[in-house]
C-alpha cells in the first residue's frame, strides 16, 4: 500500500502529533509520519517521536528572522520526503513563502469551531460568549491565520461549571480523533473518482468553447458541436483504472510514452494509436502535466480560427 509521507511540526508535548503517529501504525492507515520537527530542541514531543522510531529535528527560532527559520524547517521537511505537513500545536506564525511552498498540502488543527474564535484563548472565549458548544476544526493552512477551508469539525458540549481547563481537556480528546481521520481522508482524496473527475473537468472546461457530454459511457470533453479531445474513465470495461484519455501528437508517441512510464501510460481499448491513457489513480499525478496534455489535445481538434484566438491569448 502506497502511504503518503507526512511531516509534523510541534512546539511542545505534541499530543496531537502522538495521535497521528499511533494512528499511522495501523496497516490500513494511508499515511506515515516521516519527520517530527520543533522550534524548541527540548520539546517533549521530540523525545516521544524518536522513541517511536521517527526522524526528528529541533532548533530554536530565537535570533532568527521568521523567513530564515522557516527556510530551515522547509529544508528538513523536503529532505525527509514529506509531501504533506501537519501542524500539531506549532506555536509559530508562518512566513508567506513557507505557506506558499506547501499550498494545498498543509493542515492545522484549531481548538474552536471555525470561523469562530480564531487565534488564542478559544476555550475561555466560547465559555464567556455563553455558547452551548465549543469544539475543534481541521483546516487547510493559508496565509491568513486560521482562515483556510475547513475539512472537518467536532462539536463538544460546554457543561455547567466548565472552566477553560476542563473544557480544553475534553476538546483535546476530540482533536486526537478528528485529526487522524481528517488527515487520512485528505491524503487519499486524489484517488477518489469524483475528486479526480472534478479536477479534469475544471481544467478541460477552462479551454475555449469546451463542453462536456457522456460518450462511450464516459464523461468526455470537446469543442462545442465538434470533436472530442478528452475522456475520463473509471473502471471502464472492468479494467479497474481511473484515467484521462487524450489525443497523441504523433503516431509513435503512444508507444514512446508507454515505454517510458508503463505504469502511468497505456493504450486505451477501442481508441487505437491516436489516443493515450494517463492513469490518475497512482497518488502522484502531476496536474500541470495533465493540463498541458489536455491543452495539446484540444489544439489538435480546434478550428484554425479558434487556434488563432488561443495563440493571441497565450501571448498575453
Domains of the chain: which residue ranges?
Answer: 4-191, 193-315
Instruction: List pLDDT tens digits, range 15-54.
Output: 999 999 999 999 999 999 999 999 999 999 999 999 999 9
- The mean pLDDT value of the chain amounts to 93
304-313 contacts, C-beta under 8 A, 24 or more apart: 306/208, 306/209, 306/223, 309/208, 310/208, 313/208
Instruction: State residue 15's pLDDT score.
Output: 97
Instruction: State residue 312's pLDDT score.
Output: 52
218: annotated binding-site residue? no
Q: Which is catalytic among the residues 2, 61, 83, 110? A: 110
CATH number listed for the domain at residues 4-191: 3.40.50.170
What percent of the chain has pLDDT above 70?
97
66: annotated binding-site residue? yes
Instruction: State residue 279's pLDDT score.
Output: 96
Mapped onto helix, strand or coil, the DSSP state of residue 194 is helix
* 4-191 and 193-315 share one fold: no
Clarify whether 237 is annotated catalytic: no
15: annotated binding-site residue? yes
Mean pLDDT of the region 258-269: 94
Instruction: State residue 183's pLDDT score.
Output: 98
108: annotated binding-site residue? yes
Mean pLDDT of the region 265-272: 91
Name the residue with cell 507526512: 6
Helices and strands: H and E segment counts in the chain: 10, 13
Could you give the angle at the alpha carbon of 135 between the alpha carbons of 129 and 140, nearest 5°? 115
Neighbours of 193 (CB within 10 A): 14
Q: How confident is the model at residue 238 (pLDDT cuts 50, 70, 90)?
A: confident
Instruction: State residue 128's pLDDT score.
Output: 97
Give yes or no for residue 204 having a pLDDT over 50.
yes
249: annotated binding-site residue? no
Mean pLDDT of the region 251-264: 94
- Please name the fold of domain 193-315: 3.90.1150
Q: How confident is the model at residue 309 (pLDDT cuts 50, 70, 90)?
A: low
Q: How confident is the model at residue 310 (pLDDT cuts 50, 70, 90)?
A: low
Judge whether 112 and 118 are in contact, CB under 8 Å.
yes
pTM reported for the whole predicted model: 0.75
Mean pLDDT of the region 241-263: 94
Q: In what order do the strands lie in the sheet with 84-87?
A: 56-58, 31-38, 4-10, 84-87, 106-110, 133-140, 150-157
94: annotated binding-site residue? yes
Q: What is the dihedral of CA 280, 285, 291, 295, to 10 degrees?
A: -50
Mean pLDDT of the region 83-105: 96
Instruction: List pLDDT tens digits, range 146-192.
Output: 999 999 999 999 999 999 999 999 999 999 999 999 999 999 988 88
Q: How confident is the model at residue 314 (pLDDT cuts 50, 70, 90)?
A: low
Give yes or no for residue 316 having a pLDDT over 50.
no
Judge whether 222 and 211 are in contact, CB under 8 Å.
yes
Instruction: State residue 311's pLDDT score.
Output: 63
Instruction: State residue 1's pLDDT score.
Output: 58
Instruction: State residue 156's pLDDT score.
Output: 98
Mapped onto helix, strand or coil, the DSSP state of residue 103 is coil
Amino acid at each position: 500500500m502506497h502511504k503518503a509521507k507526512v511531516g509534523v511540526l510541534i512546539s511542545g508535548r505534541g499530543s496531537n502529533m502522538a495521535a497521528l503517529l499511533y494512528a499511522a501504525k495501523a496497516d490500513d492507515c494511508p499515511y506515515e509520519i516521516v519527520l517530527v520537527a520543533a522550534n524548541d530542541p527540548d520539546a517533549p514531543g521530540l523525545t516521544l517521536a524518536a522513541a517511536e522510531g521517527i526522524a526528528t529535528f529541533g532548533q530554536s527560532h530565537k535570533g532568527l528572522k521568521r523567513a530564515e527559520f522557516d527556510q530551515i524547517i522547509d529544508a528538513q521537511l523536503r529532505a525527509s520526503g514529506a509531501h504533506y505537513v501537519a501542524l500539531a500545536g506549532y506555536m509559530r506564525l508562518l512566513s508567506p513563502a513557507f505557506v506558499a511552498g506547501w499550498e494545498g498540502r498543509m493542515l492545522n488543527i484549531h481548538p474552536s469551531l471555525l470561523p469562530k474564535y480564531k487565534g488564542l484563548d478559544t476555550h475561555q472565549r466560547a465559555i464567556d460568549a455563553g455558547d452551548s458548544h465549543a469544539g475543534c476544526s481541521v483546516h487547510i493552512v493559508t496565509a491568513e491565520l486560521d482562515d483556510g477551508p475547513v475539512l472537518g469539525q467536532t462539536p463538544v458540549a460546554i457543561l455547567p461549571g466548565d472552566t477553560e481547563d476542563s473544557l480544553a481537556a475534553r476538546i483535546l480528546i476530540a482533536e486526537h480523533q478528528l485529526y487522524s481521520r481528517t488527515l487520512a481522508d485528505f491524503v487519499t482524496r486524489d484517488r477518489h473518482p469524483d475528486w479526480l473527475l472534478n479536477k479534469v473537468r475544471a481544467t478541460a472546461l477552462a479551454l475555449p468553447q469546451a463542453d462536456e457530454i457522456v460518450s462511450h459511457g464516459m464523461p468526455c470533453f470537446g469543442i462545442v458541436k465538434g470533436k472530442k479531445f478528452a475522456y475520463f474513465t473509471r473502471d471502464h470495461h472492468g479494467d479497474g483504472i481511473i484515467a484521462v484519455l487524450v489525443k497523441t501528437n504523433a503516431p509513435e508517441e503512444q508507444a514512446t510514452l508507454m515505454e517510458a512510464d508503463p505504469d502511468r501510460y497505456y493504450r486505451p481499448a477501442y481508441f487505437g494509436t491516436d489516443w493515450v491513457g494517463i492513469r490518475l489513480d497512482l497518488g502522484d499525478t502531476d496536474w500541470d502535466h495533465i493540463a498541458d496534455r489536455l491543452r495539446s489535445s484540444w489544439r489538435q481538434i480546434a478550428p484554425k480560427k479558434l487556434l488563432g484566438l488561443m495563440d493571441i491569448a497565450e501571448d498575453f
